[in-house]
C-alpha cells in the first residue's frame, strides 16, 4: 500500500514520515494553511532519500510556474488539484497526479485524463482538497470508469484508513489533516497512520 503524507512543512515531519515508511511527501504550493515556499520545500526535499517521491500540489496554476517550482524543488510528480484541462497535463514535463472530487459527473473526464495516478478526494470545500472530510467510499464502485491506479484521499485518519482500504481497494492513500493536532503534523499520528495503512490485515 502506497502512502502519501501531504502538507509537509518541516524537516522533522518529513523525516518522521519517511522513517515510518511513507512513499510520497507532498508540498502544497496553492492557497492553503499548509502552503510552503519553494525554497523551504527544496530544503526539506534535500533531506529525503531518492526512494521517497516529492509531490508538488498546485491549483489552477500556470504551466510556467509549475515547471519552475518543479525544477527548483526537484519534484518527482506534479499534482493538479484544481480544474486543469487534460491539455495542460500533456504539456508538463513531470509525471502527473490528478485529483478528482468523487460524486461529481466527471467519470468521462477521468477516463481520458493523462496522468500517472488518479487521486480520488472528497467534494471541494473552502480549498481544493485538504478539507478533512470523508465521503462514502462505496461510491467508487459505482463509477462508470474506475481507474486502476488511484490514491484515496479525503478525511483519512489512523482510525479509519484500514476500513477505507478494505472498502475502496486503492493503490495508495493520502493523508494531511488526519495526522495533525491543532494544525501541526503529529509524529505519533503519522506513524500510526502509515502502520495501519500498510499492515496486511488492511489490504483486501
**Residues forming the active site:** 6, 121
Angle between helices 11-20 and 38-45 (to 10 degrees): 40
Dist CA 75 CA 122 (whole Å): 25
Task: Count CB neighbours of 21 within 10 A.
Answer: 14
Dist CA 100 CA 82 (whole Å): 8
Exposed, middle or buried: residue 112 (CB in 10 Å: 0-12, 13-18, 19+)?
exposed
Dist CA 103 CA 122 (whole Å): 8
Taking every pair of C-alpha atoms in the chain, what is the biggest distance, in angstroms?
A: 44
Exposed, middle or buried: residue 188 (CB in 10 Å: 0-12, 13-18, 19+)?
exposed
Q: What contacts 74, CB < 8 A, 6 or more positions away?
A: 42, 45, 54
Amino acid at each position: 500500500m502506497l502512502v502519501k503524507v501531504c502538507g509537509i512543512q518541516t524537516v522533522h515531519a518529513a523525516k518522521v514520515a519517511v522513517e515510518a515508511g511513507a512513499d510520497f511527501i507532498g508540498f502544497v504550493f496553492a492557497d492553503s494553511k499548509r502552503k510552503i515556499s519553494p525554497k523551504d520545500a527544496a530544503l526539506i526535499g534535500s533531506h529525503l532519500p531518492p526512494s521517497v517521491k516529492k509531490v508538488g500540489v498546485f491549483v489552477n496554476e500556470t504551466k510556467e510556474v509549475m515547471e519552475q517550482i518543479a525544477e527548483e524543488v526537484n519534484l518527482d510528480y506534479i499534482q493538479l488539484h484544481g480544474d486543469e484541462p487534460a491539455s495542460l497535463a500533456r504539456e508538463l514535463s513531470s509525471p502527473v497526479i490528478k485529483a478528482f472530487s468523487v460524486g461529481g459527473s466527471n467519470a468521462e473526464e477521468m477516463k481520458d485524463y493523462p496522468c500517472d495516478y488518479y487521486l480520488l478526494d472528497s467534494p471541494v470545500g473552502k480549498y481544493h482538497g485538504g478539507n478533512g472530510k470523508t465521503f462514502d467510499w462505496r461510491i467508487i464502485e459505482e463509477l462508470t470508469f474506475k481507474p486502476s491506479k488511484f490514491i484515496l484521499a479525503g478525511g483519512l485518519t489512523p482510525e479509519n484508513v484500514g476500513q477505507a482500504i478494505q472498502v475502496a481497494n486503492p493503490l495508495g492513500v493520502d493523508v494531511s489533516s488526519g495526522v495533525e493536532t491543532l494544525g501541526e503534523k503529529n509524529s505519533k499520528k503519522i506513524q500510526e497512520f502509515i502502520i495501519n495503512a500498510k499492515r496486511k490485515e488492511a489490504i483486501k
